[in-house]
Amino acid sequence: MPELPEVETIRRQLVKDIVGKRIQAVKILVPKLIKETSPVLFRRKIIGKEIANIRRRGKYLIFDLKPHLYLQVHLKLSGQLLYSSGSEPKIDHHVLFLFQDGSRLYYHDLRRFGGFTLCREDPEPLLNLGPEPLSPAFTFECWKQIILGKNGRIKTFLLDQQRIAGLGNIYATEALFRAGIHPDRRVSTLQPDETKKLYQAIKSILKKALKAGGTSIQDYVKPDGRHGNFQKSLFVYRRKGQPCLCCGNLIKVQKDGSRSTYFCPVCQR
Ligand SMILES: [Zn+2]
């Protein structure tokens, strides 16, 4: 699933590609990708609108449309947004936005859990998300307040978008490794130095992954179809049975629900 670095990478490219463009036509091949309204109404409302800006909040993208309308996009497990100037060959897709200048935005979603919601009001406040970990507002004091008095499993806690926005399985797993914390630890057992290390690890991993254009392991590609590069820098995620890059012991995996948690039994305590 695309997480903060992937969604932000997509946002930055799309800002360059489509902001200022007017939607001329929409083709919807998979109606379930349009949420909370019929494809007919969706098309009627969005055609003729201009993309004024694209924002990101957690793993959501919000397209500000002119005049007054918002398009909320969530890629969920396998959504891809791909841009084409219009001269290239057609790209496989489930939804297509055609702009007045002939350029296109394709949406493809193999698992079909993602999709589009049109909103008359700014949907951001309703998303009920925790702070953005790369924003100046996410200070160490802020982090201490977030974990104060909590007692869940730390891995599960990091995935809770209402506590902190944008982390998913890859970066929660990697941040815990870099902080030397076992994924099964209870939040309340974290020592002050571990709290600090984890705070720094979250920020640093997200920054590095963003700089690398995200992690391409499954479906994630950038809007130009190219892969991110951060998969080369992962220490534990998807490295089951391979030697830990720090201590040489074998990386273990455990299942929690549908997710796999990777960790080094020696480096993470
Ligand atoms: Zn290790």
| Domain match, 112 and 18 both | yes
Terminal C-alpha separation, the chain: 27
- Contact status, residue 251 vs residue 263, Cβ threshold 8 Å: yes
In-domain check, residue 46: yes
Cα-to-centroid distance, 180 and ligand 1 (Å): 9
Cα-to-centroid distance, 260 and ligand 1 (Å): 18
| Domain match, 119 and 158 both | no
Cα-to-centroid distance, 92 and ligand 1 (Å): 41
Question: Which portions of the chain are predicted below pLDDT 70?
Answer: none
| Domain match, 151 and 117 both | no
Q: Domain tally for the chain?
A: 2
Exposure string (b/e) for 178-203, b if CB count within 10 Å is 16 or more? bbbbbbebebeebeeebbebbbebbb
pLDDT number for residue 87: 85
- Contact status, residue 146 vs residue 164, Cβ threshold 8 Å: yes
pLDDT number for residue 128: 97
| Domain match, 16 and 95 both | yes
Cα-to-centroid distance, 268 and ligand 1 (Å): 7
Reference 195, options 236, 249, 165, 157; nearest CA is: 157
pLDDT digits (tens, 9 = 90+) for 182-226: 999 999 999 999 999 999 999 999 999 999 999 999 889 999 999
Question: Beta strand pairing status for 23-28 and 95-99?
Answer: antiparallel
| Domain match, 12 and 68 both | yes
Cα-to-centroid distance, 141 and ligand 1 (Å): 29
pLDDT number for residue 88: 83
In-domain check, residue 132: no
Reference 18, options 40, 58, 49; nearest CA is: 49
pLDDT number for residue 187: 98
In-domain check, residue 268: no
What's the rounded Cα separation, in Å, for the pair 90 and 118? Answer: 26
| Domain match, 258 and 200 both | yes
- Contact status, residue 116 vs residue 137, Cβ threshold 8 Å: no
Cα-to-centroid distance, 242 and ligand 1 (Å): 10
Domain termination site, one of 95, 127, 159: 127
| Domain match, 9 and 91 both | yes
pLDDT number for residue 58: 98
Cα-to-centroid distance, 175 and ligand 1 (Å): 14
* Residue numbers annotated as active site: 2-3, 59, 259
CATH of the domain at 214: 1.10.8.50
What's the rounded Cα separation, in Å, for the pair 63 and 66? Answer: 10
pLDDT number for residue 124: 97
What's the rounded Cα separation, in Å, for the pair 80 and 226? Answer: 12
In-domain check, residue 228: yes
Domain that holds residue 213: 140-263
What's the rounded Cα separation, in Å, for the pair 51 and 232? Answer: 34
Instruction: Go through the chain and tell me how many residues it has.
Output: 269
- Contact status, residue 46 vs residue 69, Cβ threshold 8 Å: yes
| Domain match, 14 and 45 both | yes
Beta strands in the chain, from DSSP E residues, in sequence order:
23-28, 34-35, 50-57, 60-66, 69-74, 79-84, 95-99, 104-109, 115-119, 252-256, 259-263
* Residues around the ion ligand 1 (C-beta < 5 A): 244, 246-247, 264, 266-267
Cα-to-centroid distance, 96 and ligand 1 (Å): 46
